[in-house]
Amino acid sequence: MKFSFFKILVWLSFLFVLVYLYQQDLFQIPVVYSKGMLGLSFGLLFVAFVFQAINWHQVLKFEYPIRISDAIASAGLSVFTKYIPGKLMVIIGRAGYIRKKYGYPSDGLISRSFDTQLLAILTGMLFGSLSLIWLNKVSEWGLYVGLFVIGLCLVLFTPYFHQILEAILGRLGLKKIKIPFLRVGLTLSAIPSFLIYWSVLSLAFYLLMVSLLPVEVSLLAGFIFPLANTLGIVFILAPGGIGIREGILTVLIHASGVDLITATSIAVFSRLWFLAGEGFLFLLGALCHRFSE
């Protein structure tokens, strides 16, 4: 069997996931107070991952139109590449699949893949900031979140900061990537699917917390996951945000009044929960790839 770069990338991602599972003690299931809510949280998590693939499709559709099934295949088969240290492979991986399938230029696809990641961070941070209301931390952390969002908008929409980011990517060995400006039309058309993605994911995490806590949980609690997940993406040196997202979740859940042991247990279990969503997207992507051949 001839192995392409993309296939090698997929198998390499499996290796790093196995290493991660070996190193991390994830299989400590906390007390479940509502199995129904837990099951529903998994269902919504799977729906959210479908929208993650749709986000990729929406960003591509103007310049590089593809089928939804191919967007799911490229996103699903490359989903575990985020566990490869550096986390840039998830950007390159889905672009590589589409390049091989459609013959579109590699540079343009990688640029759009990078834009997809930046839009996910931007919208995720906006959603995550709503959790500050629940935590009564708006006055303490609101300024930092606001500055981060403004900075990201500058990167996405202004030429000067584009040049700085391209220079940084060049130092990381990606000198050929030229990040195009996000057009207003593209951004406005793509944003709704990103918002749906984070909405469903936030609701899924809210239901996860409801299932694992014996007390009433505010709906705003769900928004701490987008905040922690976004910050985990930003730390590109940690594969998949390993440890960072769990640490942030622990701090945020504990800040809401939950004891530290329980908060840690929920945060650690959320990694296993999220891995299940990634596994679902991978299997769905494999099916889409199989039936598109």
| CA dist list (Å): 146 to 91, 139, 142, 151, 191 | 26, 11, 6, 9, 19
Contacts of 228 (CB under 8 A, 6+ apart): 128, 245, 248, 249, 252
What average pLDDT does the segment 248-265 reach?
A: 85
| Separation CA 55–CA 75 (nearest Å) | 10
Contacts of 256 (CB under 8 A, 6+ apart): 134, 135, 221
Mean pLDDT of the chain: 80
**What pLDDT is stored for residue 2 in this prediction?**
38
Q: Which two tokens stand for residue 192?
A: 């709704």
Nearest residue to 119 (alpha-carbon basis) of 84, 98, 78, 91: 91
The number of beta carbons lying within 10 Å of the beta carbon of residue 45 is 23
**What pLDDT is stored for residue 10 in this prediction?**
61
Residue with tokens 């296993």: 272
| Separation CA 2–CA 9 (nearest Å) | 14
Nearest residue to 199 (alpha-carbon basis) of 35, 47, 43: 47
**What pLDDT is stored for residue 254 in this prediction?**
85
pLDDT digits (tens, 9 = 90+) for 171-221: 766 555 555 556 666 677 888 999 999 999 999 999 999 999 998 888 888
pLDDT surpassing 70 at residue 293: no
Residue 240 binned pLDDT confidence (cut-offs 50, 70, 90): very low
| Separation CA 118–CA 196 (nearest Å) | 16
**What pLDDT is stored for residue 198 in this prediction?**
95
Q: What is the pTM for the complete model shown? A: 0.82
Range with top average pLDDT, 119-133, 177-191, 194-208, 242-256: 194-208
pLDDT digits (tens, 9 = 90+) for 58-71: 999 888 999 999 99
| Separation CA 78–CA 97 (nearest Å) | 9
Instruction: Name the H helices within the chain.
Output: 5-23, 35-60, 68-77, 89-102, 106-128, 131-135, 138-157, 159-171, 184-212, 224-234, 244-255, 260-292
